[in-house]
């Protein structure tokens, strides 16, 4: 935008940056004119280090303009466009995070630390603390701009409705919802790699939205490591749970009354 301002005399306001990304760069990416994060395809969409770079065939084409064989280069590029798109799609698929749900279904999450934590919750938290009776009702995936499954990657709408959970927009939903059919507990899980733990405000919002829910709720904030947990510890709501992926066998309960008992040392 600064380049456009300096060289083309068009001054875009700062809040139009997202419009340019969605209505220009996204189309350039689809047409293989540019690649996003060529240096690191697994970089998440919301990273401050996101970048776009021209593809080599486009660079070679531009070198021919205006006096060279640029028209012929364009025709060659158009003929090869499908192959370029397939190669790029395959590269992105290699970076995706594989998740095997409790029932055996396999899904692919877009690359990034946040979705890796989603996978850790499914593969490590659920077997330990929910067990075989756990049913994944919802998993969100933030990357929809590359046609990687959209924001609602797993959505068991009928089961959610049966539990009295109303339809909610993506920004109102927790990152994951898992239902323990045996105990009739609904686990509402926020996966935190930069922001968004179950704070008192977030707890109140969810409780209000789920006031007609027919089962008990368990609120869990999942962190990838202790360092990330420490950054958010002061914001955790009382009466909720914390799980840290690097220590998957343990949980932290933010209140003592429910589980108050002497600590038993293992022999």
- For the stretch 19-74, pLDDT in tens is 888 788 888 888 889 988 888 877 766 677 888 999 888 999 999 999 999 999 99
Please state whether the predicted TM-score (pTM) of the whole model is above 0.85: no
Cα separation, 5 vs 16, whole angstroms: 13
Cα separation, 173 vs 18, whole angstroms: 23
CATH class given for the domain over 2-94: mainly alpha
Q: In the numeric block, which tokens belong to residue 98?
A: 């594989």
Weakly modelled stretches of the chain, pLDDT under 70: 44-46, 92-93, 95, 142-153, 169-171, 256-267
Cis peptide before 194 (omega within 30 of 0): no
CATH class given for the domain over 97-253: alpha beta
Q: Point out which residues pair with 109 in neighbouring strands.
A: 97
* Domain limits, the chain: 2-94, 97-253
User: What pLDDT, on a 0 to 100 scale, did the predictor assign at position 145?
Assistant: 38
Would residue 146 be called left, alpha or beta, if left means φ above 0 and alpha means ψ between -120 and 50 degrees?
A: alpha
Q: Point out which residues pair with 135 in neighbouring strands.
A: 179
């Amino acid at each position: 935008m600064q380049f456009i301002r300096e060289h083309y005399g068009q001054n875009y306001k700062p809040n139009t940056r997202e419009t340019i990304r969605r209505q220009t760069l996204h189309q350039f990416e689809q047409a293989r004119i540019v690649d996003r994060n060529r240096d690191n395809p697994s970089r998440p969409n919301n990273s401050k280090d996101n970048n776009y770079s021209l593809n080599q065939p486009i660079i070679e084409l531009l070198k021919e303009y205006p006096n060279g064989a640029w028209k012929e280069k364009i025709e060659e590029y158009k003929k090869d466009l499908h192959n370029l798109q397939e190669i790029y799609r395959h590269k992105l698929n290699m970076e995706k995070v594989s998740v095997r749900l409790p029932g055996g279904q396999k899904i692919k999450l877009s690359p990034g630390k946040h979705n890796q934590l989603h996978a850790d919750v499914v593969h490590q938290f659920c077997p330990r603390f929910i067990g075989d009776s756990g049913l994944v009702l919802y998993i969100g995936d933030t990357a929809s701009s590359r046609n990687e499954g959209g924001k609602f990657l797993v959505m068991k709408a009928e089961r959610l409705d049966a539990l009295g959970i109303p339809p909610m927009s993506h920004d109102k939903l927790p990152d994951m919802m898992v239902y323990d059919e045996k105990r009739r507990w609904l686990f509402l899980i926020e996966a935190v790699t930069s922001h968004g733990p179950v704070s008192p405000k977030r707890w109140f919002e969810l409780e209000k939205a789920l006031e007609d829910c027919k089962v008990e709720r368990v609120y869990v904030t999942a962190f990838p490591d202790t360092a990330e947990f420490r950054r958010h510890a002061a914001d955790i709501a009382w009466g909720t749970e914390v799980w840290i992926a690097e220590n998957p066998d343990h949980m932290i309960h933010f209140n003592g009354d429910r589980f108050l008992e002497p600590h038993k040392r293992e022999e």
